[in-house]
Amino acid sequence: MSRLTTAEMRGYQQICGNDGAMMVIACDQRGGMRTLLAKDPQEQAAISDKTLGDTKADIAQFLASKASCVLVDPICAVPALVDDRIIQRDTALLIGLDASGWDTSPEGYRLSKLVPGITARRVRELGATGGKIMVYLRSDRDEANVHNIKILRHCIEDFAREDLLLVVEFLTYKFDDEDEADYKAKTPSLIVGGSRICLDCGSKVLKIPYPGTPEACAQVTTLAGDVPWAVLSAGVDHSTFLKQVEDAMRNGASGVIAGRSLWKDCISLDRSITKERLETVAVPRLREIQAVIAAHFKAAKFEHVRQGQKAHA
């Protein structure tokens, strides 16, 4: 199992809160953010990278400042977040390497893409604490993953050479000819299997979809060993995500990397509306997630003390 180096551990500490849990606000989406800002495809296409950058800046300033870290893309958000002193000095910064969308193979497999020119060295030059790579995986079909595993290994090796923290994310997906019910039934095993692939490639911090059940969360924890993993929100509604966070934390997760479930109904092309809703809607949601994490750590600490007292009885 891959272990964090001293430099990587320092980066990991910085993306965690004072309680030691990851609490990262994700806003590295581009296409997905455009669909939230406008309904009409022509209006979406007219939204500039500068407008997206302003929206991400507001999320960083009004929401991520209440967490431990913000995850952004390298096209719209940086270097302005740093150069314009928008991101607070004690808010860590992760930069995503993956390009928006995917290519499709003749067999119907999703082929992940990287943003050109965004290497570990460039991530460091942009003032980031570390990077994040996302690939699509179907752990039940080896041939579907060849291209994406190659990308994953390349990024892990690149960041290892720079001794810079890299968070590894994967998403699973349904094949076009696959029955929806069959796919949902497979999801826990696909997420456990995708976690195994990432770990086998040398991942040291994981960002994964909710594994589907508490039992699957526990399987991921056992598989990961000392490798910390965070659950992502995948845009589900806030109440659903809260329950998923509870299940994940109770069964070994090390925190949360959440985006759309916090801010998807808060952002607007009118920045005054965005700022108001981030403060009145998104921040209270964040506080609820933080309360779940805090309750877990309190319970875990109590259990540790109880077991120690039992051992000395």
Instruction: Band the pLDDT of 312: cuts 50, 70, 90.
Output: very low
Confidence of residue 305 (pLDDT cuts 50, 70, 90): very low
Model confidence over 108-142: pLDDT tens digits? 999 999 999 999 999 999 999 999 999 999 999 99
Size of the chain, expressed as the number of residues it contains: 313
Q: What is the pLDDT of residues 221-277, one digit of tens each?
A: 999 999 999 999 998 999 999 999 999 999 999 999 999 999 999 999 999 999 999
Q: How far apart are alpha carbons 4 and 22 in whole angstroms?
A: 15
6-309: what fold? TIM Barrel (3.20.20)
Per-residue model confidence (pLDDT) at position 235:
87
| Distance between CA atoms of residues 291 and 109, nearest Å | 39
Local confidence band at 306 (pLDDT 50, 70, 90 cut-offs): very low
Distance of CA 66 to the CA centre of its chain: 17
Give the pLDDT of residue 296. 84
Distance of alpha carbon 74 from alpha carbon 118, whole angstroms: 7
* Residue matched to tokens 């964090």: 4
DSSP 8-class letter at 258: E
pLDDT in tens, 284-300: 999 999 999 999 876 66
pLDDT tens, residue by residue, 83-110: 999 999 999 999 999 998 999 999 999 9
Residue 302 has pLDDT above 50, yes or no: no
**pLDDT tens, position by position, 171-229:** 999 999 999 999 999 999 999 999 999 999 999 999 999 999 999 999 999 999 999 99
DSSP of 159-221? HHHHT-EEEEEEE----TTS-HHHHHHHHHHHHHHHHHHHHHTT-SSEEE---SSHHHHHHHH
pLDDT at position 82 = 96
| Model confidence pLDDT, tens digit, residues 24-80 | 999 999 999 999 999 999 999 999 999 999 999 999 999 999 999 999 999 999 999
